Chain A
Amino acid sequence: MTTSDEVDFERVTVSDLSRFYGRRRALSHVTLECRAGEIIGLLGPNGAGKSTLLSVLATLAEPSTGEVRYGRWTARDGGANLRARIGFLSHDLQLYPELSACENLEFFAGLYGLDRPEARAHAALMTAGLEDRADDVVEGFSRGMRQRLALERTLLHTPRLVLFDEPFTGLDEASCGALVDRLRALRADGHIVVIATHDLDMVDGVLDREVLLRSGRLRSLDYEGTLRDRYRLGVATPPGAVKRSREAHDPVDGVEAEPLV
């Protein structure tokens, strides 16, 4: 019998991961390593497989081939204790609109077995700047307010691995700035942060490393310039013509280079 404290990890290793939906291939031979105290940007056009990769990392979907290791654990042998170390803010916010902000947080605090759920919920509402709306039902919240609340729900149990899918959606400038500060604080606290986003200007300078997913394949953005320039080059460059600093199949900063076609 393990406890969630025992199932802790300092790195997540994705090895030759593929994921199929029927005959459609969403992820193809993805290899990636994420370390504690690191923010990794998962970039790519729509339908590239970013959300699928986040779902697999969150243990919500199983790989078709390959594996994900959380330290020495896999999703199967880590089970519920491993899930206690993962926080996932998906594009859909996983909130109950009929419940108040406080009730939503208390419910999830209860599910995570946190002690003093009321106090935790109150502290999270303070951080989200929603303490004066604590008893209002979420249905009446703006998208930005829901996003802030969902962010606090994700971090309520101080997960080791934090997965964000488009976390800047609906946030105003001040909230975006607060989120960027929060990301930096998570890095400083030794969390592993993986963030899928199209808001390149927002995360430029925040990310420690960025990888590009395109048609389910992963590649590093090994170019010069701003994040937006590198992203454009990465998307425009056809498969097989990726500039590489090492031999094919050797990990480049934890990303397996795309094999030559």
Chain B
Amino acid sequence: MRRFLQVAWLVVRKDLRVESRSKEMLFTTLFFAISSVLVFSFGFVRAGQAVEGAAAGILWIAIAFSGTLALSRAFERERYHDALQGLLLAPVDRPAIYLGKLIGLLLLLAVVEAVVVALVTFLFGAPLFRHGWWLVLLLSLGTVGFASVGTLFSAMLVRTRSRAVLLPVLLYPVTIPVLIAGVSGTAALVQPEPDLAMTRLWASLLVFFDTVFLTLALWTFEPVMTE
């Protein structure tokens, strides 16, 4: 287990180091997320008043769309110079590589989400920070569920030519329960009278989805990556 985590950490550290130099994924993902929220704000804010209940949906749409962009690039740098082959040839548990890639993505998405949450709060006047810890919990659980499936699909599609098109086509139908749970939990949190019981229910469902998706992804990564 120690070696497993050590390998995952090596992959995370490598990805963060590469990202800190290129800033390719961070800037493109942030730019896309901010653009999405701004476009929505023109449609859903009239005379300084946002359409009721829109904020939760817009928050999660921005996260899902920008997350898809990040996911599509997740294994791209492994494909470049076929570094993926070097990773797969290493004497490590291959799921540890998956876990490393996933953690790297989650860290990136955490930065993006911090910016998006602030922007949605500002533009839509949504009380997202009223129950801040609940929001952090929902976002964390939702992002883990979304990214765990996305990282697996991104790895699966790394050798296919039309991966950019195929990723969302495969990803959204599978992760729709996660997105629904995330939107519904957040909506219950930001409505005029917060419904914490409902938020707890959706958070529990997210825990269930995360457990299933993570287990399946860790289990299937090895056979998926073997030609």
Residues of A within 8 A of B (CB): 4, 55, 58-62, 80-84, 86, 88, 90, 92-99, 103, 107-108, 110-113, 137, 153
Q: List 12 A-B contacts (CB under 8 A).
A: A60-B89, A81-B91, A83-B91, A92-B82, A93-B82, A94-B81, A94-B85, A96-B81, A99-B17, A113-B3, A137-B21, A153-B86
Residues of B within 8 A of A (CB): 3, 6-7, 10, 14, 17-18, 21-22, 77, 80-83, 85-93, 226-227
With A60-B88, A112-B90 in contact, do A94 and B10 touch (Cβ < 8 Å)? Answer: no
For the complex of A and B, the 4 pairs showing the least CB-CB separation, nearest first, are A94-B86, A92-B82, A84-B91, A111-B90
B22: chain A residues at CB < 8 Å are 98
A111: chain B residues at CB < 8 Å are 7, 10, 87, 90-92
With A99-B17, A113-B3 in contact, do A94 and B91 touch (Cβ < 8 Å)? Answer: no
A88–B85 touching, CB < 8 Å: yes
Partner of B85 from the list A90, A107, A113 (CB cut-off 8 Å) is A90
Taking CB as reference atom, which chain A residue is nearest B6? A110
With A103-B17, A110-B10 in contact, do A95 and B87 touch (Cβ < 8 Å)? Answer: no
B interface, over-half SS: helix
B86–A97 touching, CB < 8 Å: no
With A4-B91, A80-B92, A86-B89 in contact, do A97 and B17 touch (Cβ < 8 Å)? Answer: no
Given A60-B85, A86-B89, A108-B86, 17 additional A-B pairs, CB 8 A: A58-B89, A60-B89, A62-B226, A80-B93, A84-B91, A90-B85, A94-B81, A94-B83, A94-B86, A96-B14, A96-B77, A98-B17, A99-B17, A110-B6, A110-B7, A111-B90, A137-B21
A92–B227 touching, CB < 8 Å: no
A interface, over-half SS: loop
Partner of B91 from the list A80, A93, A107 (CB cut-off 8 Å) is A80
Taking CB as reference atom, which chain B residue is nearest A61? B227
A4: chain B residues at CB < 8 Å are 91
B81–A83 touching, CB < 8 Å: no
Provide the bound-state CA to CA distance between A107 and B77, in Å: 15
Min CB distance B81 to A, Å, is 5
Partner of B81 from the list A59, A93, A110, A113 (CB cut-off 8 Å) is A93
With A60-B88, A80-B91, A80-B92 in contact, do A96 and B83 touch (Cβ < 8 Å)? Answer: yes
Taking CB as reference atom, which chain A residue is nearest B84? A94
B3: chain A residues at CB < 8 Å are 113
A99: chain B residues at CB < 8 Å are 14, 17-18
Min CB distance A81 to B, Å, is 6
A97–B90 touching, CB < 8 Å: no
Provide the bound-state CA to CA distance between A86 and B227, in Å: 17
Taking CB as reference atom, which chain B residue is nearest A85? B91
Partner of A95 from the list B6, B83, B90, B92 (CB cut-off 8 Å) is B83
Provide the bound-state CA to CA distance between A108 and B91, in Å: 10
Provide the bound-state CA to CA distance between A112 and B86, in Å: 11
Partner of A108 from the list B82, B88, B90, B226 (CB cut-off 8 Å) is B90
B89–A83 touching, CB < 8 Å: yes
Provide the bound-state CA to CA distance between A97 and B76, in Å: 13
Min CB distance B77 to A, Å, is 7
A90: chain B residues at CB < 8 Å are 82, 85
